[in-house]
Amino acid sequence: MAKYRGITVNPKRFERSQIKFYIILLPMIILALLPLIYIISTAFKPIEELFAYPPTFFVKNPTMANFRKLFGAAENTAFPMSLYLFNSIVATVAVVLLGCFISLMAAYALSKKRFKGRKSIFKANQLALMFVGSMLGIPRYLIIKGLGLTDTFWVNIIPLLIMPTGVFLLKQFIDDVPDSLIEASRIDGASEFRILMQIVYPIVKPAMATVAILFFQSAWNSTEASNMFINTEGFKTFAYYMNVLTSAGNGVAGRGMAAAASLIVVIPNIVLFIIMQSRVMDTMARSGIK
């Protein structure tokens, strides 16, 4: 805590000078939390509140009926819910681990290696940030079909391993790693892999946490592979299974089941962010300091 011209800077306790920050930040926090609150509230609404007019934002009489209907519908399917959940867990863990490692290696090469075409490759990576996933549907389908990945479990993993956002973010952090530190490690006889894992990786851990969350969300919430590339039911994922269960219902029952399924799918994302929020905040803080 310090004072500048009689004004307390970064006080440890609440002071009236902080009120202006609360006035600005609190409305932003509330707006950010409203979608999550709505998902939770809707999942516990009884039928009469789901279709009430005028609609209500908060649940008045919470009930577990939507979850009971959802799990009741799951009991009538040919394959158990545990199979789809297992597929999603395996695919998500593989995507997070392999995707983070591939992004780290690519970012390290683009940042610290000198080779022909390095700048062009990085510009292509930046260009890829401009395209949304829906625009890449046809090229992705042709590539996956050409590689023979259709109707295999690998199609849940391999197409999600490349993330231009992750490579871009990690490269910005690796750019800040002193070249002299890397050169000293080489002089001491360290291999490139050892430099990457023991020198570079500990420094960019906050960015890696953010990239891991992005990979987790893309893998856990993905239904594209199950809808477009997989015919064998035993290879499909939990997010797809939840969508099928909710679409099977119609009218009022389907609306309540969809709300419950949305909450179940979003919970792992929330838990992961809570666990890793300190590193994510560190990433955002450091990204503006060069």
259 found inside a domain: no
120 found inside a domain: yes
163 found inside a domain: yes
121/115 Cα distance (integer angstroms): 11
277/273 Cα distance (integer angstroms): 5
Predicted TM-score of the model (pTM): 0.80
For residue range 54-111, list pLDDT tens digits in order.
878 888 888 888 888 888 877 777 788 888 899 999 999 999 999 999 999 999 999 8
Q: How far apart are the first and last CA of the chain?
A: 24
Per the structure, the count of domains in the chain is 1
258 found inside a domain: no
In the numeric block, the tokens 């597929």 are attached to 87
95 found inside a domain: yes
Domain assignment of residue 167, given as a range: 80-251+265-287
68 found inside a domain: no
212 found inside a domain: yes
211/193 Cα distance (integer angstroms): 20
249/59 Cα distance (integer angstroms): 22
For residue range 4-52, list pLDDT tens digits in order.
445 555 566 666 777 787 888 888 888 888 888 888 888 888 888 877 7
The domain that holds 240 is classified in CATH as 1.10.3720.10
